[in-house]
Amino acid sequence: MQPKKGRVIFHVDMNSFYASVEMAYDPKLKGIPLAIAGNPEERKGIVVTSSYEARAKGVKTTMPLWQARKLCPELRVLRPNFDRYRTASREIFKMMAEITSLVQPVSIDEGYMDVTNSQEFENPLKIAENLQSRIKRELDLPSSIGIAPNKFLAKMASDMKKPMGITVLRKRDLPHKLWPLPIEEMYGVGEKTAVKLRGVNITTISDLAKGDPYQLKQVLGINGERLQNRANGIDTRAVDPEAVHEFKSIGSSQTLPSDTTDDAEIRKLMNQLADNVDRRMKRKQAAGKSIQITIRYHDRKTITRSKKLHSYIEHKDDILYFANELLHKHWNLDPIRLLGITVQDVEEKQYIGKQLDLFTYETEANKEKLYSTIEKLTQKYGKNTFKQLNNNSDDQQPRTSFQKDFLDDYRKE
């Protein structure tokens, strides 16, 4: 049951998170142009994030490092320290969880909160102000908070005032706060979608909100209806604390130090990527039924090729075998800039029905007595008497900010 006034949703978005964490760790970095980049020593390093001082000089996320340094010669560049960011993220989500149990992390530096019931004790604006102040006071990190009746509007609101902004966006505010914005600024509208919309003279969020539903469906398919609903402030999605556990693919990609056609170097990277995916599959206790590779060439042209498999795979040897098969089939022998391997159609192994074939039957049959004994002990002492041990712990820090395996750490105290 929702209260008569409807839901109250926060979107908490940390400002220039990686750079801000580094400045909190080393205050001497404050006030100078700072960028976090994956490979500062290599020509193909990419800016992961930058401080507002660097942004004022034109430095942007995903910009090549050489270009950023050209725009801002005094730019200070640091490698990412994911352990440090992960620790800060955990503390932020702990603070959020003290206000409401309905917290949904969506990345290392942003998440949703449903404070509908919390407002019985305190005004939502006051809750937001106290949370923002506490994060700044205890962690020395700036944030922006959007307050709205649903997740989409809360997300849009948090982007409207940075850094250290708090913005309320109600449905009655849409005509003057949301609709005048260019279509590219709408969350959920990427570059390709924006081009399609501009092709039918939809240039603002207002144009989308008032557009012809039939035309939108012709241009964007079912996504057209969803985006138009969002533009009109309609979004029924719940804040789901368990959503962090949903995953359909597990992958790893890496940019090479230099464009290459060297077979040995490519094989080495493919082996490393398969190892990364294997490690994450083990941590998730998951298996997948499709394999995909990503190839980005020297001219930045990027292709993805995938293959449906007859049975689930989870081990490195299988991942590497099918990924190499796709690479040999689809690589045009031009110099490669980036490679990626992704296992798709992923499910947790506990939900996958065991499919016995001629190769696994004998192994499973040999375990039958063990299974029988475990079943008897389970009936006597309850579930989880025995657990399959997994010695493949993953102590490596995540390679990118898109790694989400740790986003429920704040609940593991």
Report the amino acid identity of residue 316: K
Cβ neighbour number for residue 108 with a 10 Å cutoff: 26
Report the amino acid identity of residue 209: A
Whole-angstrom Cα distance, residue 332 to residue 35?
Answer: 35
Does a cis peptide bond (omega within 30 degrees of 0) precede residue 163?
yes
Q: Which residues pair with 264 in a beta bridge?
A: none
Of 155, 153, 130, 144, nearest in space to 15 by CA: 144
Query: Which residue reads 């309850």 in tokens?
Result: 382
109: annotated binding-site residue?
Answer: yes
- H-run or E-run covering 91: helix 82-99
- Cβ atoms of 80 and 36 closer than 8 Å: yes
DSSP state letters, 380-409: HH-TTSS---------SPPSSTT--TTTTG
Report the amino acid identity of residue 318: D
Backbone phi, psi, residue 322, to 5°: -75, -35
The DSSP letter of residue 80 is -
13: annotated binding-site residue?
Answer: yes
- Cβ atoms of 288 and 323 closer than 8 Å: no
Structure tokens at 344: 């798709």
Helices and strands per DSSP (H, E), number in the chain:
14, 12
Say which of 110, 120, 184, 191 is annotated catalytic.
110
Of 199, 207, 155, 200, nearest in space to 182 by CA: 207
Inter-CA distances, 187 with 52, 151, 197, 200, Å: 21, 11, 14, 19
What is the SS3 assignment for 231-259?
A: HCCCCCCCCCCCHHHCCCEEEEEEEEEEE
Confirm whether 110 is a catalytic residue: yes
Extract the annotated binding site for Mg(2+): 13, 109
Extract the annotated binding site: 13, 109
Give catalytic residues, as residue numbers: 110
